[in-house]
Structure 1
Amino acid sequence: MTRRGSIAVTHPRLDADKLGPFRFGRIDDKVLLTHDTGQWHLLSEPDFEALLAGTLGPDHPDHAALVDKGFIRDGMDADAIADRLRRKKRWLGMGPHLHVVITTLRCNQSCKYCHASRTDMDRVDTDMSIDTARLVVDHALRSPSPFIAFEFQGGEPTVNMDVIRFIVEYSRERNRNEGKTIEYSLVTNMTRMDEDKAEWLLANDVFLCTSLDGPRHVHDWNRPFAGGQGSAPFDEVMKWVQYFNRRYVEMGRDPELWHVDALMTTTRKTLEHWREVIDLYVSLGIRNLYLRPLNPFGFIMKTWKAVGYDQEDFLRFYEQALDYIIDLNRDGVQIIEGTAALFLKKMLTPDDPNFVDLRSPIGAGTGQIAYNYDGTIFPSDEGRMVDAMGDPIFALGRLGELTPDEAIGHPTVKALAVASLLDTLPMCSTCWNAPYCGVRPLHNYMMSGDLFGQRPNTPKCKQHMTIARLLFERLSRDTDGSLEAIFRRWTLERPRETPPPDLDADGDAGASPAASSPASGDAAPDSAAATE
């Protein structure tokens, strides 16, 4: 205290000329340094002060690593760091690779949290036509990206199976001249599946992703049939997951790579049954579990009081589930928490997973495009959901009227990029989590009416900060390296490779080439890449 009663603030010595560019925060009793390349380092408080003062010399055990990672300027290889940064950001100029196709809005389920704004089964006017489907393919194949992933969504997309068949067959025929790598994924509730559809999907290597919210009493409560009609949805999902996984084995496919993926959406009912959810996924051999929170789109705005929860409740649920999944891995069970795996790939590898909602800037319009059943183009499926709620602000134009270059360069796409560029956003630009984080402007728009939002108060900021902190805390306590070995295994990808397609005169194909590729966002995170 000074004689006037004010507090005397002492600042650490700082020799900025000896420092590389970095951000920092505190994890447990350590200081975490992070770099734009994704490199990071943990220091004790005294060592951090020595780093700032320029007195942490070559005799210090961490000195060489700090130089290599770019935290100490003297001896830093600027060219190597530039190469690392270029590798991390190489997706920037690729163009849209994910093309979300809404084949129909019709759906036979009435999920309590539905974000897709479904319509009843008699609304055939919400089916995509073959003419519109042809325009989808023509537009998608003009993307500069060498990799194209068509992802079929709804409604329940298999209600309009003719359009799915057409897009697969027509795109393969067109691709004879384009030479791109094309993959297909289907996000289905499985309740409209039959053997004819299943065998066609298997023969054409369409990757399957379904919704599985947990054991019967949770799944059927979250996802009842519309009007209470039909058998239990849970039974249908179990039947077809087992059918496809059995057929993959019979076809000689590696079950580590070829299996049905599943998505879980967390409602209030899920929170107390987290262990049962994980055990169910393990029993089915599903190796990638995404613990997804609710999204502020569609019908959830009307049902939040029944199914919603506080952000803190979800984050407690997430931490419990993550630690249980880690314990299972220590016991030899191969299962991954998908969101954590995305962060870990940014933290532990030289690559970026190119998850379109977890990058800076966001991939809306530049990494993905969504096509509504009527041919309206959106920068993402979330933009379509906002439109379905009566706000057309994110509609870019219509197929046949808007070129791919005009879509990518649309003012709305530019606004979304500006609103998600972490380097320029207040508080994000100096946050230690910036190399691993991403902003979702459409979430901000729904929550606050503003693309930018108040970042520290947004649900996504709290989720991303918590997940990154949980991972770094556990790594900081990993004295023997056993957990890092588990986490590194979570980041590995192997391609689902099949022989090139043999197209006949009708355009039918037995297989499509598959390559390791980026995860595709909320709808089907593992639709294009199989994770070990």
Structure 2
Amino acid sequence: MSEQINPMIHKYCQNGTYMLLDVNSGIINVIDKVTYDILDIYDGTNKNAVYEGLGTTYSRSELDESLSELDELIEKEMLFAPMCDNFKVVAEEEPVIKSLCLNIAHDCNLRCKYCFASQGDYDTHKRELMSFDVAKRAVDLLIKSTEGKRQHCEIDFFGGEPLMNFDVVKQTIEYIREQEKIHDKVFKLSLTTNGMLLDPAKVKYLTDQHISLILSLDGRPEVHNRMRPDAGGHGSYDTCARNQVYAAKHRNGEEYYVRGTYTKYNLDFTEDVRHMADLGFEGLSMEPVVGDDLSYAITDDDLPRIFDEYDRLTDFYLQRYDEGRPFVYYHFIMDLYRGPCIAKRLRGCGAGHEYMCVVPNGDIYPCHQFVGQDGYVIGNVYDGVTNDTIPALFRDMHVLNKPECCKCWAKFFCSGGCHANNIKYGGNIQTPYELSCRIQKKRIECAMYIQAKLAMKRQEAAQE
């Protein structure tokens, strides 16, 4: 990776391919070495400086050809593009709560060592399940907040382990389906599970109800078992993998992906992705662990190894594509032609103003990462959002209001990072968590490279 002096572009080389991103337009180009070097100097106005700086390296005709192509891109606002006015307009819009995370169970049947939720109880030392009344009130709150403003809503059943409260999950789903018809709503529902309690009956129900599944598995058996023991301290891989493989095979086209976590113990996480792909999973993700325990936590010293591993993962991803055995890797998904909407580019997940979390007693938090933290309760499902200060603060924490993010080429891809991690590790909500930022930027570079390569492969295939 390399940083450029010009904040309006980002260029880098991966596997001998020279990549160029125009930050404000989002246009990505594959360029040659001449153009790559010219852009160390050229800003659209200083051709003489290019001739003086590179005249002994390249011929005049080579420089003229590349400069002409760059000028054409500039004229079309595909290079050095100005900031779109729509970014500023959307940044000032008042968002609407559109998504809820229901912590349906503050309890878990695993004792994952890196769990941010303290193995399910969120540091409350009180294991409890959400009642149907609280869940119903949460649904009503979401419907009321979107009435006349948006048709589409989202709810994720979360925990702990939500399948430990499956009866209430089912009651809530059935209530949502009734309310969709009454209020002309469309709910996208998802459930995050470790899979320990997934059985054929539950899989069929969740599939028939079109519930997206996020399944937790860390890859190879020894990797998974090291960090994800059950409540008795035994490895959970065999049960989790068996149930999740069954679920994936019986989704009937319904959405799912398997999410793993890598730590200092498995910085060769490409092998974990390979293992899960070989199990037959078509949608995968591996996230870097976030935690303070130095026995497994990732530090700055690990970053060179991690960056090399993402290059390995990129090569593996393209290899599987060429072999006709492709899989979807969550962080490598990038639409070169449309991309996420402006609001998503600015605000990311929308925590605290568009997305909120409800816990078993009905309290509302900005997101699941803040549950149990003093000072972050912003209301209750029985009274609604009663704390306007925190939602307003989170709403204004888009990338245009973060000084460091404004200078970053990746700002419209990462949207300023996770608020909770920024507060805990960056020092405040405005300051991004640097280690996470560096990993995210590497993933974005790999994603751009992959999508450019795939686009060229498709173009070549169409011409044959």
TM-score range, shorter chain: 0.7 to 0.9
The yes-or-no answer on 1:266 pairing with 2:262 is yes
1:267-296 Cα shifts (integer Å, max 9, x gaps): 222223x24312222223322221201124
2:248 aligned residue (222, 245, 250): 245
Once residues 190 and 147 of structure 1 are traced to their aligned partners in structure 2, the CA distance between those partners, rounded to angstroms, is: 28
CA contact (8 A) 1:30 1:45 kept: no
Question: Aligned partners of 1:450, 1:238: CA distance in 2, in Å?
Answer: 38
Distance in 2, matches of 1:365 and 1:244, equals 32
Helix, strand or coil for the counterpart of 2:437?
helix
Following superposition of structure 1 onto structure 2, how do residues 288-437 of structure 1 map, counting pairs within 5 Å? 288-296=283-291, 301=292, 304-311=293-300, 312=303, 313-341=305-333, 344-345=334-335, 348-352=336-340, 359-360=346-347, 363-384=350-371, 387=372, 391-403=373-385, 410-418=388-396, 420-437=397-414
Counterpart-to-counterpart distance in 2, 1:314 and 1:283? 22
Question: Which one-letter code corresponds to 1:309 in the other structure?
Answer: I
Residues 39-58 of structure 1: pairs in structure 2 closer than 5 A: 39-40=27-28, 43-46=35-38, 49=41, 51-53=43-45
Question: 1:134 aligns to what?
Answer: 136
CA 1:110/1:72 → structure 2, altered by over 3 Å: closer, same or farther? closer
Counterpart for residue 450 of structure 1: 428
Contact 1:24 1:31 in 2 (8 A): no
Kept in 1, the 8 Å contact 2:179–2:185? The answer is no
Conserved? CA contact 1:97–1:148, under 8 Å: yes
Change (3 A) 1:90 1:235: farther
Give the match's secondary structure for 1:175: helix
Structure 1 stretch displaced more, 429-438 or 154-163: 429-438
1:50 Cα deviation after fit? 5.1
Q: Is contact 1:260-1:286 (8 Å) kept? A: no
**CA offset at residue 263 of structure 1?**
0.4
Deviations 1:366-398 (A, max 9, x none): 3311111111111211121xx2xxx32222111
SS of the residue corresponding to residue 184 of structure 1 reads strand
In structure 1, how many angstroms separate the alpha carbons of the residues matched to 2:458 and 2:368? Answer: 30
What's the offset of the Cα at 1:355? 9.8
Q: Deviations over 1:311-342 (max 9, x none)?
A: 4143333332233222222332212321232x
| 2:215 counterpart residue number | 210
Query: Does 2:146 correspond to 1:146?
Result: no
- Aligned partner of 1:236 in structure 2 is 239
1:220 aligns with 2:225: yes
Give the superposition deviation at 1:262: 0.8
1:267, 1:72 → 2: CA distance?
Answer: 38
**Deviations 1:453-489, CA, capped at 9 Å, x for gaps:** 3x4x6222212222234455x47xx9xx64444799x
1:158 corresponds to 2:187: no
Report how far residue 48 of structure 1 moved: 6.8
How far the C-alpha of 1:119 sits from its partner, in A, is 4.7
- Determine if contact 1:282/1:335 at 8 Å carries over to the other structure: yes
The alignment partner of 1:225 has SS state of coil
Shift of residue 309, structure 1, vs aligned partner? 2.8
* Runs (5+) with no aligned partner, structure 2: 48-63, 460-464
CA distance in 1, matches of 2:241, 2:92: 37
Q: Is the 8 Å Cα contact of residues 209 and 261 (structure 1) preserved in structure 2?
A: yes
Q: Following the alignment from structure 1 to structure 2, what is the Cα–Cα distance between the partners of residues 306 and 44?
A: 41
Work out whether 1:100 is the aligned partner of 2:82: no
Counterpart of 1:334 in structure 2: which amino acid? P
TM-superposed CA distance for 1:90, in Å, is 10
Mapped to 2, the partners of 1:199 and 1:436 lie a distance apart of 36
Q: Distance in 2 between matches of 1:288 and 1:281?
A: 9
- Contact 2:105 2:128 (8 Å CA) reproduced: yes
1:124: Cα distance to partner? 8.2
Residue 177 of structure 2, aligned match among 172, 178, 181: 172
Q: For residue 287 of structure 1, what is the aligned residue in structure 2?
A: 282
Distance apart, 1:353 and its partner CA? 6.5
CA distance in 2, matches of 1:162, 1:323: 44
The structure whose RCO (Cα within 8 Å, separation 6+) is larger is 1
* TM-score normalised to structure 1 length: 0.70
Task: Report 1:429-508 matches (<5 A).
Answer: 429-439=406-416, 440-453=418-431, 455=432, 458-471=434-447, 474=449, 482-485=453-456
Contact 1:100/1:152 (8 A) holds in 2: yes
**CA drift at 1:53:** 1.3
Conservation of the 8 A alpha-carbon contact between 2:74 and 2:80: yes
Cα separation, 2, equivalents of 1:487 and 1:219: 36
Per-residue deviation, 1:129: 1.1
Give the aligned CA root-mean-square deviation in angstroms: 3.6
Once residues 115 and 93 of structure 2 are traced to their aligned partners in structure 1, the CA distance between those partners, rounded to angstroms, is 32
Query: Structure 1 residue 82: deviation in Å?
Result: 6.0
Q: Which amino acid aligns with 1:402?
A: G
In the alignment, the residues of structure 1 paired with residue 155 and residue 44 of structure 2 have an alpha-carbon distance, to the nearest angstrom, of: 49
Letter in 2 for 1:380: C
SS in 2 for 1:245: helix
Deviation at 1:33, TM superposition (A): 5.4
* Residues 1:61 and 1:316: Cα distance change in structure 2 (over 3 Å): closer
Q: Distance in 1 between matches of 2:271 and 2:18?
A: 35
TM-score, normalised to structure 2, is 0.79
> Percent identity among equivalent residues?
19
Q: SS in structure 2 opposite 1:214?
A: coil
Structure 1 residue 260 displacement after superposition: 4.1
Q: Give distance in 2, aligned partners of 1:71 and 1:160.
A: 53
